[in-house]
């Protein structure tokens, strides 16, 4: 259900649960296992999540819902929450590379990632209300934070597919087709992977903080400490020497 490969310090995680990469508990646990087992390797600097075949993910495995016990439904929700917390706290930037269909839980997975690149013809939305349920993987909260409550409510309460131009701030890039999607995703991942692992880690941590006094103090400590790292010494020396740095 999940395939992984590592190239040039990039961990590629591919959803492989045909035909539409539906997200059941096994798929979610597979994503968790891939990140926990490989994403914390110090040699990995970037994680890319993508879907195989025709789409990224059409969302939760709705066909299984009638047969799930209350305990199994709770496990599904808890597993999704665990995965999305892991994506946020793993210290590696996570890019979702999106094509075809990105609906419901699939859209919520994409929203949980740090960056998103998408093809212009991808179907995007939160259609759960059409089934008499709601987006239970944190999608409404994340979307409200990213595009505003008014837009998030319209998307979730109508259940309609969304025009990407109306939510273009969600995406790092909107590309023409799957060929360009792979090219742009790889280029971004490689550019990040060429940087200092220490800087990547701290920058992701800072992106998850608010602007409180406590956060200011955390950032101050990280700034003081990072100057002593080997990567910082290499980067500063390379700048002074007018050469390209060789980061670890």
Confirm whether 72 is a catalytic residue. no
Give CA separation, 55 vs 51, 153, 188, in Å: 6, 25, 21
Judged by DSSP in three states, 168 sits in: helix
Given 128, 160, 180, 230, the catalytic residue: 128
Given 3, 36, 108, 180, the catalytic residue: 108
Give Cα 247 to chain centroid, integer Å: 24
Confirm whether 180 is a catalytic residue. no
Which parts of the chain are beta strand (E)? 2-7, 10-15, 46-51, 94-98, 101-103, 115-119, 123-125, 173-175
Tracing tokens 């979702």 back to the chain, one arrives at 96
Rounded to whole angstroms, the Cα distance separating 121 from 133 reads: 26
Tracing tokens 């859209």 back to the chain, one arrives at 107
Name 50's bridge partners. 14, 97
Give CA separation, 83 vs 17, 30, 33, 101, 229, in Å: 17, 10, 9, 21, 30
Rounded to whole angstroms, the Cα distance separating 221 from 223 reads: 5
Query: ω into residue 19 within 30 of 0, thus cis?
Result: yes
Catalytic annotation, residues: 108, 128
């Amino acid at each position: 259900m999940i395939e992984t490969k590592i190239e040039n310090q990039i961990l590629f995680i591919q959803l492989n649960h045909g035909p539409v990469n539906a997200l059941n508990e096994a798929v979610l646990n597979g994503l968790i296992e891939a990140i926990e087992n490989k994403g914390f390797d110090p040699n990995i600097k970037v994680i890319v999540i993508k879907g195989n075949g025709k789409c990224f993910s059409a969302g939760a495995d709705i066909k299984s819902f009638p047969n799930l016990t209350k305990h199994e439904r709770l496990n599904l929700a808890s597993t999704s929450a665990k995965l999305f917390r892991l994506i946020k706290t793993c210290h590696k930037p996570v890019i979702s590379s999106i094509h075809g269909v990105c609906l419901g839980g699939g859209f919520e997975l994409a929203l949980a990632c740090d960056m998103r690149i998408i093809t212009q013809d991808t179907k995007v939305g939160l259609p759960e209300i059409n089934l008499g349920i709601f987006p239970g993987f944190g999608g409404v909260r994340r979307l409200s934070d990213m595009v505003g409550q008014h837009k998030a409510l319209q998307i979730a309460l109508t259940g309609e597919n969304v025009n990407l131009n109306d939510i273009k701030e969600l995406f790092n890039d909107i590309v023409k087709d799957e060929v360009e999607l792979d090219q742009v995703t790889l280029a971004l991942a490689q550019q990040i992977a060429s940087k200092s692992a220490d800087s990547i880690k701290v920058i992701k941590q800072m992106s998850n903080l608010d602007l409180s006094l406590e956060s200011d103090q955390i950032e101050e400590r990280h700034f003081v400490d990072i100057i002593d790292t080997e990567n910082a010494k290499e980067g500063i020396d390379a700048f002074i020497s007018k050469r390209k740095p060789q980061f670890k």
